[in-house]
Chains A and B, each alone.
Chain A
Amino acid sequence: MNTHLLHLENVTKTFNQGRPNEYSALRGISLDIPAYQATCIIGPSGSGKTTLLSTIACLARPTAGRIYLREKPISNLPENFLAKIRRSTFGFIFQRFNLISGLTVLENIVLPAYPLGLPQHKLLQRAFALLDQFDLKNRAEHRVEWLSGGEAQRTAICRALINDPAIVIADEPSANLDSALTAELLEIFTQLRAAGKTLLITSHDPIIHEAAAIDMRVEMRDGEVRSIA
């Protein structure tokens, strides 16, 4: 049995095809991402690491090449199936968390589970278990604008975990964070990894990619993989 959770074969992503401003963000990437480990994609901005992440996480389809998730090809699925995979397999932690303002902590957390059409009580049960785990219970009904940085971070993590994903995706999670929060985040990453999640992170912040919690580092430059360590 292949322990590689994700397998990329010659993946290319080209923007503005056939127009003068055409450019390739990914140029033939082949890569294996093992299960139950934390992988960090490193590289300067413009190196294609965010594009790679969104292509892997089914946010965008590759222009060419194939991606396999547990040996199932997912690179040419239509959007409704990609969305299904996205919500069942991936949990997302974005730069600046991207919580939806105007909604409460609880509402933000249940958003990814909303299209599943679960009964209300099940949904709430799940959400409260997470809130409990991340010490946010007394904040459930608060609007997200009024949260402290740490609380917002934990809300974002709860939202990423609500559908119990196998893979947690974090895009530049430490941007705009002070060192205390970055430490807290790393602590949570370690916990998640211990809980059997696969982590996939992009960062150019040495505090993240040189942390002990990271098992594998993929260095990118100009849309190509430079080195894997």
Chain B
Amino acid sequence: MLNPVIIALLIVASLDTLMLLIAAGFALRILRHWDIQSGSELQIRLEQQTYLIATLVGFAFITELLSLLLFVYNADALSSQFVGAMCATGVLNVNPWGWPTLISKIIVFFFAALWLALNFIDRQAEDYPLVRIKYGLLLLIAPLMLSVWSFQLKYFLGLNPAVITSCCGSLFSADARGIAAEVSSLTPRTGMLLFYVGGIAVMISGLWYLRKQRTALIFGMCSIGAFITAIIGIVSFVALYIYAHPHHHCPFCILKSGHDFKGYWLYLPLFSATALAISSSAVAVTQRIPSLRTQAKKTARKFGWLALLLYGIFYLLSSWMVLTSNLTLENLWL
């Protein structure tokens, strides 16, 4: 099962892994020998390497985002080749590595975003106060990327067309077992409640933080929570309205042209908002470092407002999709 897309995805993942491992190697040296006070040639070389590391991580971030899109899109396109698969869900189900690949890709994306934000803010202070945290984090991202790479390799090598898979219809149904089934066995009402509670929580914590300049960490946690509840909400509530079908729970079919690519309009703001909110909260925490006080405050606020704007777009758009749908569910408002 080696079609060109899969080869491309494997190549990109291998290159990204390689680059992040190189970056991690530099990071180790930096952690060992970094001394900003020194003017030695070693220190100057290390500083020059920080530029390379930042470029490598930035590059990996962009290509991982693109390959995340390509991965899902390709899974969708492959669905015709597997008996029982109608969309990406079925294709991801072909073997046990599909979902771990997707989830780890998402996690790497958020971590890379966080790293880039920290790197950005760190370089605003003359003493580079976050060097240790930053390169420590990088040592965490590199193995993560390695696991993405190995999951994806196992997944693609294990794509056997003879496997009869089950698709969104059965995976996201109340009768099945597993997380996906439990998520979709939630009544649309619970889904809706979770969806909006998460939304309200993140908006309020965000506004609270932006007004009071405190509790940034709560904002960050709410944003992670909101991401999860938003996905649950999409599966058990919003999707039903987009498909205009009371039992079609699927987070991928909404990406198809048959549904006007509505999924992209939801996922892009949601992902960017979450990445920005996490970064904002992390940057805000660094305000405690004296040399970063003003810059961190400014940057965190900027990220925070942008995140709230994107959250607003996400929740408004999904509400609009629900309201303009042809579907009316009974018992929703009970």
Contact = CB atoms under 8 A, between A and B. Distances in A.
In the complex they form, do A and B come into direct contact, defined as C-beta atoms under 8 angstroms apart? yes
A17 B40 contact: yes
Contact of B126 (A16, A17, A78): A78
A77 B42 CA distance: 15
Interface residues of A, number: 14
Contact of A64 (B36, B39, B42, B44): B39
Given A17-B42, A76-B36, A76-B37, 15 more contacts: A16-B41, A17-B40, A17-B41, A61-B39, A62-B39, A63-B40, A75-B39, A76-B38, A76-B39, A77-B126, A78-B47, A78-B123, A78-B128, A79-B47, A80-B123
Contacts of A81: 126
Contacts of B36: 76, 78
13 contacts: A15-B41, A61-B39, A61-B44, A62-B39, A64-B39, A75-B39, A76-B37, A77-B126, A78-B36, A78-B47, A78-B128, A79-B48, A80-B123
Interface of B: 36-42, 44, 47-48, 123, 126, 128
Contacts of B42: 17
B209 to A, nearest CB: 29
Contacts of B40: 17, 63
A75 B37 CA distance: 9
Looking at chain B's contact residues, the main secondary structure is loop
A92 B96 CA distance: 63
4 closest A-B pairs by beta carbon, nearest first, are: A61-B39, A63-B39, A17-B41, A62-B39
Nearest to B41: A17
Contacts of A15: 41
Contacts of A80: 123
A158 to B, nearest CB: 30
B112 to A, nearest CB: 21
Contacts of B41: 15-17, 63
Contacts of A61: 39, 44
Contacts of B39: 61-64, 75-76
A78 B42 CA distance: 13
A79 B39 CA distance: 11
Contacts of B128: 78
Contacts of B44: 61
B118 to A, nearest CB: 15
B180 to A, nearest CB: 47
Nearest to A77: B126
A93 B193 CA distance: 68
Contacts of B123: 78, 80
Interface string A63-88: 11000000000011111110000000
A63 B40 CA distance: 5
Contacts of A17: 40-42
A17 B44 CA distance: 12
A62 B44 CA distance: 10
Interface in A124-156: none
A76 B34 CA distance: 13
A203 to B, nearest CB: 27
